Amino acid sequence: MRSTSRRGEMSLAEPAALPVAASVPPRLHILTRVSSTLKASLPAYLLLAPSLVFLALFTYGAMGRVFVDALYARATPKAPVRFVGLDNINAVLADPAFAGAVINNLIYAVGTAIPSIALALLFALALSRTNAVTSALRAALFLPVLIPMVAASALFMFVFLPNVGLLDHYIGRLLPVLPNWLGDPDIALWAIMIITIWKNAGYYMLFFLAGLQSVPDDVMEAAHLDGASPWQRFRHIILPELKPTFLFVTVIATLNAVTQVDQVFVMTQGGPSNATNLVLFYVYQQAVEHYDIGKASAATLLTLAVLMTLTALSFRSLANREGGP
């Protein structure tokens, strides 16, 4: 314990302290016990301190601030900010624009998660064997992930340009009226969703490729020998093995549907006529355009609560599955 002056012995010395702490009789006064535990883990906390400080300052500090801001508001522009309790939350829930954003976001979440997961699974199944061709194809499918969403959105702006864009240039020959992809409230949200699917399918493919590695070869071989058709093998062996992957990817896709919506900021600003207004953009509008920090914070809290509940639920069921027989 004393020979910490030499470098190499630091790490060896620390674990040695733990059994000592553990062997203290349990009847000892509670304070002493706490302090001795603390003493033992103090170096660990000190080493963690820089990260903890930054985490506290920039993550939890900000969240705390949002929580506080959500409870305050001002009645008129010159009036002082005062405590209003849940008024901001109620105002957000009563705001038809928020309801619209939630509905849009639900459509967006379902409409992006299902196709991108289906495509990802399809890609993974097709490219599960490793050889030069599949490696090249995997890289090609993964490429959209490497392009930042803002850059991708700028690219797609040109693809979607009415009349002269890439899409209208080719599809336009077939259609009687050229669609105004981002300028028509009936189409704009779908156009935005196409980008998300294009961007995320390759990313989710990686998880499925990893998941496929865990499908036991001997079971597959046995099924093969027993004369199971490819569909039967897929339905009864591969899919059950991929269940945890599905759950994980679904959670990620849902979180992405709320948090990764840069294209709305770049391409449509929630328009036309709020057709692509998603929850995150609604928060931005409240904070920036309406300059209503209270309502923006309240909307953030609501979103955060839903996302955390969703994540907790899915990971609990994931843990249950893993822990089960």
What lies within 8 Å, CB to CB, of 128 at 6+ separation is 134, 209, 212
Residue 10 interacts with other proteins (CB under 8 A): yes or no: yes
Among the listed ranges 80-88, 231-239, 288-296, 300-308, the one in contact with other proteins (CB under 8 A) is: 288-296
Query: In angstroms, rounded to a whole number, what is the distance separating the alpha carbons of residues 98 and 88?
Result: 12
- Between 115 and 162, whose beta carbon lies closer to other proteins? 162
The 8 Å CB, 24+ separation contacts for 292-297 are: 292/73, 293/69, 294/69, 294/70, 294/71, 294/72, 294/73, 294/84, 294/88, 295/73, 295/88, 295/91, 295/92, 295/95, 296/69, 297/66, 297/67, 297/69, 297/70, 297/88
- Between 36 and 274, whose beta carbon lies closer to other proteins? 274
- Between 97 and 310, whose beta carbon lies closer to other proteins? 97
CB of 1 to other proteins, least distance (A): 12
Nearest to 213 by CA among 286, 278, 130: 130
Binding to other proteins in span 186-205, by CB under 8 A:
186
CB of 177 to other proteins, least distance (A): 7
Contact of 286 with 295, CB cutoff 8 Å: yes
Selected binder of other proteins within 263, 285, 297, 303 (CB under 8 A): 285
CB of 225 to other proteins, least distance (A): 60
- Residue 241: exposure state from Cβ atoms within 10 A (0-12, 13-18, ≥19): middle
Beta strands in 10-161, from DSSP E residues, in sequence order: 72-73, 82-83
Residue 177 interacts with other proteins (CB under 8 A): yes or no: yes
Residue 291 interacts with other proteins (CB under 8 A): yes or no: yes
Among the listed ranges 219-227, 235-243, 281-289, 311-319, the one in contact with other proteins (CB under 8 A) is: 281-289
> How many Cα atoms occupy the beta-carbon half-sphere of 155 within 13 Å?
10
Residues touching other proteins, count (CB under 8 A): 40
Q: How far is CA 146 from CA 10, 143, 219, 256, in A?
A: 41, 5, 36, 16
- Between 178 and 247, whose beta carbon lies closer to other proteins? 178
- Between 123 and 156, whose beta carbon lies closer to other proteins? 156
Residue 11 interacts with other proteins (CB under 8 A): yes or no: no
Query: In angstroms, rounded to a whole number, what is the distance separating the alpha carbons of residues 119 and 203?
Result: 11
Selected binder of other proteins within 64, 85, 185, 216 (CB under 8 A): 185
CB of 102 to other proteins, least distance (A): 18
Each residue 35-54 as x (binds other proteins by CB under 8 A) or -, in order, gives --------x--x--xx--x-
Q: What does the binding site for other proteins look like in residue numbers (CB under 8 A)?
A: 4-5, 7, 10, 43, 46, 49-50, 53, 75-79, 157, 161-164, 176-178, 180, 182-186, 269-274, 285, 287-291
